[in-house]
Structure 1
């Protein structure tokens, strides 16, 4: 499990223990969630950082790329890794990003089984 999967798992345990307890295989769920997060961070990083400006020095580039990575991670953390937002644990809201991810993972699993 990568760092994003671990971060999500800890956040879910703390903020949404009921939802966390309903996950049948937390290790697998958060491993896959972390992999998806890594892919999204990598894609966003390139979009946010943009092309190298002409005359950009090494330290300027490192700073620009680090800032882009931090911003991409923050976006993905909010959209994908956060547990569902709820006012009441009994009335948990299903985060649309998580639901889309779960549906995507189910489709991937079906395709793998067909191979």
Structure 2
């Protein structure tokens, strides 16, 4: 019997994209069309992003579960509810860091009364270049040591790792 591969329309990606990849693609189509237009291969990008999100959620949830002591006298349903809440919290954190990124127009940044114009420009620069690193259109070696530090400042650890800006990745490349 022949193998049949089903594919969705090009703007929705293929069936290989998991729920996180689909969520990212929908979010980016709506709020980050400029970023999507810069991607060379949507299917590969959102498949990889979805897999990375899934792996990170699993890793954080596992770490939380193992690091949380058992509650004495807790019923099965109470424990299941507590573990489910931990998973939802881990998932929400990872989605905020890697998927639900601000809109291309950076309205959130420009409307923030706590940021001056120079800080808005700095944040826009960081977001743009972190996105370029994630998409594989640039590499950490394309930036000076000072620029790499600006990119790393305040970025979530997983994003630093995914972009190749982690200490380990920079050492392997001879950049640290």
TM range, smaller chain: 0.7 to 0.9
CA deviation string 1:62-89 (max 9, x = no partner): 101110111011101110112345238x
User: d(CA) in 2 for partners of 1:55 and 1:33?
Assistant: 40
Q: By how many angstroms is 1:100 displaced? A: 5.0
User: d(CA) in 2 for partners of 1:82 and 1:53?
Assistant: 34
Match of 1:2 in 2: 18
Q: What secondary structure, in the 3-state scheme, does the structure 2 residue paired with 1:40 have?
A: helix
Q: What secondary structure, in the 3-state scheme, does the structure 1 residue paired with 2:73 have?
A: coil
How many residues align? The count is 103
Query: Which structure's relative contact order is higher, taking Cα pairs within 8 Å and 6+ residues apart?
Result: 1
Match of 1:26 in 2: 42
Q: What secondary structure, in the 3-state scheme, does the structure 1 residue paired with 2:70 have?
A: coil
Is the radius of gyration larger for structure 1 or structure 2? 2
Alignment counterpart, residue 66 of structure 1, candidates 84, 89, 100: 84
User: d(CA) in 2 for partners of 1:84 and 1:20?
Assistant: 13
Q: What secondary structure, in the 3-state scheme, does the structure 2 residue paired with 1:70 have?
A: helix
Q: Please give the root-mean-square deviation of Cα atoms over the aligned residues, in Å.
A: 2.5
Match of 1:11 in 2: 27
TM-score, normalization by structure 1: 0.74
Alignment counterpart, residue 77 of structure 1, candidates 84, 92, 95: 95
User: d(CA) in 2 for partners of 1:26 and 1:33?
Assistant: 10
Gaps of 5+ in 1: 108-115
Match of 1:54 in 2: 72
Match of 1:113 in 2: none
Gaps of 5+ in 2: 1-16, 111-123, 131-154, 170-176
